[in-house]
């Protein structure tokens, strides 16, 4: 269970870094859509494991 929490935490950090990069550099967000969708998918899978 702790390993899954660590994975989720790392995915959230990755997502936050991407969002900060987009915000700070005012980059075209479409460049990062694939990365963000992949991170969201990974988080969904991890969170499914915690559902009762």
Over the chain (52 residues), the average pLDDT of each successive run of 10 is 82 82 70 79 83 72
For residue 37, CA distances in Å to 1, 2, 31 come to 24, 24, 12
- Sketch the domain layout of the chain as residue ranges: 2-48
**What's residue 28's pLDDT?**
66
pLDDT of residue 26: 66
**pLDDT at residue 42, rounded to an integer:** 85
Structure tokens at 2: 């702790």
Q: Which among 7, 6, 46, 23 is positioned nearest to 32, based on CA atoms? A: 23
């Amino acid at each position: 269970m702790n390993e899954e929490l660590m994975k989720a935490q790392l995915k959230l950090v990755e997502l936050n870094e991407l969002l900060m990069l987009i915000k700070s550099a005012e980059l075209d967000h479409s460049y990062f859509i694939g990365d963000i969708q992949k991170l969201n998918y990974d988080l969904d899978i991890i969170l499914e494991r915690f559902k009762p």
